[in-house]
């Protein structure tokens, strides 16, 4: 099936793909994620996901078990997070994004663990390929999430800059400042994760090239091999600015029953920090699907400095 960029797509399965912006994001209608979906429908969802980088489902009635079962149709589901200590009982794959937990950790209301642009868990040598996030408890307004298309960001760089960054590797690591004085910070210190990834990775399914840096994991070290700290910092800042230009992004308004599913190899996302001061709870649940070890333009692979790969089942 070929997906048009100009109009919605309807197929025999009644699945409809509705693009949300010119570069990023599509809403998929006509799918009940609580059902055992056919291989054809799964293939159509995957194709839409690879094209639009993040897809959204509305009005879904699913719980932890159904979310995990749906994720397994796209690969092996990992444990919740390398540093997650308290997943929901019986569901070690589920990571709660829960403002009530952050109250305890930080002593103040906030709606997400990390309120900076990031690609999920890139301190791992094999970051997740996909992430699926399901809404549960929402503020009456605020608390949206934005995604950016890192393929579009790369493709729209000047050719000379693309040629330069194709050959660079950047260090990704966890920054525990946000979790300081918590058990999570202690776990990060005791079992660090640190990896050098190509600044530009080649997507293993589409062959597209994508920028692979984001403040959430490269801001602490600001280390690009062979450039030194000053040049590394300036170049990473410039790449982050390019990657998050408004035209590459989509902003999603969560509603009860909303599910977002994104390609973690080609996007970064931002939990917009505009709702913590309102005093409302915000609870979502995430699962991640095992990823490969990224490869650069010349075939070089990411190198783990500290930590082990993160496998699913």
Q: Which residue has the tokens 């663990």?
A: 113
The partner residues of 209 in beta bridges, in order of sequence, read 202
Longest Cα separation, the chain = 55
Give the burial string for 239-268 (b: 16+ CB within 10 Å, else e): bbebbbeeebbbebebeeebbbbbbbbbbb
Region for 129 from its dihedrals, namely left if φ exceeds 0, alpha if ψ lies in -120 to 50, beta otherwise: alpha
- N- to C-terminal Cα separation, the chain: 30
DSSP 207: -
| 236: Cβ contacts below 8 Å, ≥ 6 apart | 170, 213, 218, 219, 222, 224
Q: Which residue has the tokens 């996901």?
A: 49
Asked if residues 69 and 259 have their Cβ atoms less than 8 Å apart, the reply is no
Asked if residues 244 and 45 have their Cβ atoms less than 8 Å apart, the reply is no
CA distance 131 to 97: 13
CA distance 116 to 147: 11
Inter-residue long-range contacts of 105-113, CB under 8 Å, 24+ positions, other chains counted: 105/179, 105/182, 105/184, 106/178, 106/182, 108/276, 109/276, 109/277, 109/279, 110/273, 110/276, 111/139, 111/142, 111/143, 111/271, 111/273, 111/275, 111/276, 111/282, 112/271, 112/273, 112/282, 113/178, 113/179
Active-site residues, by number, are 118, 120, 269, 286
């Amino acid at each position: 099936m070929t997906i048009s960029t100009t109009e919605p797509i309807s197929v025999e399965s009644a699945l409809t793909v509705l693009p949300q912006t010119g570069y990023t994001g599509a809403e998929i209608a006509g799918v009940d994620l609580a059902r055992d979906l056919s291989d054809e429908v799964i293939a159509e969802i995957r194709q839409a996901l690879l094209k639009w980088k993040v897809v959204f489902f509305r009005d879904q009635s699913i719980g932890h078990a159904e979310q995990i079962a749906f994720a397994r149709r796209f690969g092996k589901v990992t444990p919740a997070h390398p540093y997650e200590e308290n997943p929901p009982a019986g569901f070690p794959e589920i990571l709660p994004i829960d403002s009530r937990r952050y109250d305890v950790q930080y002593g103040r209301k906030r709606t997400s663990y990390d309120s900076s642009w990031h690609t999920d868990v890139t301190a791992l040598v094999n970051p997740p390929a996909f992430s699926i996030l399901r809404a549960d408890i929402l503020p009456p307004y605020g608390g949206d999430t934005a995604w950016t298309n890192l393929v579009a960001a790369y493709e729209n760089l000047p050719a000379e800059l693309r040629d330069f960054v194709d050959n660079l590797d950047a260090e990704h690591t966890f920054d525990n400042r946000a979790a300081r004085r918590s058990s999570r910070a202690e776990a990060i210190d005791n079992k660090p994760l640190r990896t050098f990834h190509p600044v530009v990775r080649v997507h293993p399914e589409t062959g597209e090239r994508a920028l692979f840096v984001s403040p959430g994991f490269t801001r602490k070290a600001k280390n690009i091999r062979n450039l030194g700290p000053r040049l590394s910092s300036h170049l990473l800042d410039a790449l982050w600015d390019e990657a998050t230009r408004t035209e590459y992004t989509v902003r999603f308004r969560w509603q009860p029953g909303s599910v977002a599913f994104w390609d973690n190899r080609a996007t970064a996302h931002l939990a917009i920090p505009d709702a913590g001061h309102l005093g409302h709870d915000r609870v979502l649940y995430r699962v991640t699907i095992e990823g490969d070890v990224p490869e650069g333009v010349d075939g070089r692979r990411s190198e783990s400095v500290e930590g082990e790969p993160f496998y699913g089942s």
